[in-house]
Amino acid sequence: MAAENITIAESEPPKIALWNDPQARALFFQIIVLGGLIFCGGFIVNNTMENLARQGIASGFGFLKTTAGFAIGYSPFLEYSEENTYFRALVVGLLNTILVAGIGVFFATVIGFIVGVARLSNNWLIAKIALVYIEILRNIPLLLQIFVWYFGVLRSLPGPSQSASVADSIFINNRGMFAPKPVFEDGFSVIVIAFLVAVFAIIFLKKWAKNRQDETGRIFPVFWASFGMLIAFPLLAATVTKFPMIWEPTALKGFNFHGGMEIPPELVALTLALSTYTAAFIAEIVRAGITSVNKGQTEASYALGLRPGPTLRLVIIPQALRVIIPPLTSQYLNLTKNSSLAAAIAYPDIVLVFGGTVLMQTGQAIEIISIIMGFYLLVSLLISMFMNWYNSKMALVER
């Protein structure tokens, strides 16, 4: 018996049939799948080439350099007219998307944190109101909410001559929101420089305060000092340069308001709907984050002698943020993607400008859809890169 075993152990491993060898199988499957993919891809590319040739549609991105010939209703950052190229129209659309996403993210975060904290309030009424807000807003489709804000609320406001006003300087009517516009005169750059100086000073102050605390244990009130510097430096600069900024007022002339800053109703409706809708989801994330921090953490930090303020700042918030930030970034990403619903109420974002007008004019579906998808993919790639960086920075350091 034993002798037999030894001979087996010393002999070559038994031959496996090729179709039972896991590695050969894996290789085989991958070749099959890759082949199928290439075949399908080839089929699609071939069909597309034929279809494009038959319909006489040009291909390539050359069209970006030709004249667009259509107007865009709202372009706050870039001068744009019908004589400009498609490329400039693309940039205008991109900027409009970024604008609406930026404002939306800001307000969604503010409302979301307020509602999320309110949901955990000791006050029964406040907690229930927050709950009702969350359950109503997140269970109604976003597009419907945009429609309600746009057609239901903003479009049914009175006309310019009867517009509602805040302190006779900001006017709201069915053509949008009109507010005074800041106009910067010579010397305003001094204020900007003063602000930047304050920012750099704060960075140094923070480093210095940390070093001093490490060495001597004395704490410097960094927050209030920074806050003061941030206000005082630009204010000082402004007094020296005699306030080089005036407000250009807006006023009713004829049938509409002129001068000042005009915010179209589409933008107002879109940001309102996006931020209140996303805020409902952010509120739930915030609530989950705060409840995830064990009560023992608070008690331990009190036991170490920390007062409630530092406990919140140094113990609770850092741990809650570790839970909050990853889903929060994905909500920001969702908000950015949802801003594409702008197309439904004719706010000129990238989808409406490019997927609507330009597609209609040029018929170059593949290039245009790829540009739009590429933009959104780039945004989500950047956000997920940030998330990975943040997660690795914040991950619990375990033994």
Partner 1 sequence: MNTQARTYEVGTHPDMLPPPSTVGIQGWIRTNLLSSPTNILLTMVAIYLIYALFPPVLNFFIFDAIWNGNDSSVCRTKEGGPVAAACWPFVKVWMKQLMYGRYPDAELWRINLSYLLFAGSVVAVTIPGVPGKKWTAIFLLFVFPVLCYFLFSGGSFGLSYVETSEWGGLFLTLVIAFTGIIASLPIGIVLALGRRSNMPVIRAMCVAFIELWRGVPLITVLFMSSVMFPLFMPEGVNFDKLIRALVGVTLFSAAYMAEVVRGGLQAIPKGQYEGAMALGLNFPKMMYFIVMPQALKMVIPGIVNTFIGLFKDTTLVSVIGLFDFLGMVQSASTNPEWLGFVNTGYAFAALVYWVFCFSMSQFSQHIERKLHTGH
**Given the rule CB under 8 A, which residues bind partner 1?**
26, 29-30, 33-34, 37, 44, 47-48, 50-52, 54, 121-126, 129, 135-136, 138-144, 147-148, 151-152, 156, 337-338, 340-341, 343-344, 351, 355, 359, 365-366, 369, 372-373, 376-377, 379-381
Distances in Å between the Cα of 173 and the Cα atoms of 153, 261, 269 are 10, 14, 13
Nearer to partner 1, 163 or 338 (CB): 338
Residues 6+ away with beta carbon under 8 Å from 44:
none
Count other Cβ atoms within 10 Å, centred on residue 67: 12
Nearer to partner 1, 225 or 383 (CB): 383
Nearer to partner 1, 25 or 207 (CB): 25
Nearer to partner 1, 196 or 381 (CB): 381
Distance CA 61, CA 92 (A): 18
Report the nearest approach of partner 1 to the CB of residue 350 (Å).
9
Report the nearest approach of partner 1 to the CB of residue 126 (Å).
5
Report the nearest approach of partner 1 to the CB of residue 120 (Å).
12
Nearer to partner 1, 92 or 335 (CB): 335
Distances in Å between the Cα of 9 and the Cα atoms of 15, 16, 20, 252, 266 are 14, 16, 22, 98, 79
Report the nearest approach of partner 1 to the CB of residue 202 (Å).
32
Report the nearest approach of partner 1 to the CB of residue 380 (Å).
4
H helical segments located in 217-346: 222-240, 265-292, 295-303, 308-310, 317-338
Report the nearest approach of partner 1 to the CB of residue 255 (Å).
21
Structure tokens at 288: 């989950």
Distance of CA 211 to the CA centre of its chain: 36
Distance CA 173, CA 115 (A): 29
Distances in Å between the Cα of 156 and the Cα atoms of 150, 262, 274, 277, 346 are 9, 18, 20, 22, 17
Report the nearest approach of partner 1 to the CB of residue 209 (Å).
32
**Strands 181-184 and 245-248, bridge-based pairing:** antiparallel
Nearer to partner 1, 256 or 334 (CB): 334
Q: Which residues of 7-42 are buried (b: 16+ CB within 10 A; e: fewer)?
A: eeeeeeeeeeeeeeeeeeeeeeeeeeeeeeeeeeee
Nearer to partner 1, 153 or 201 (CB): 153
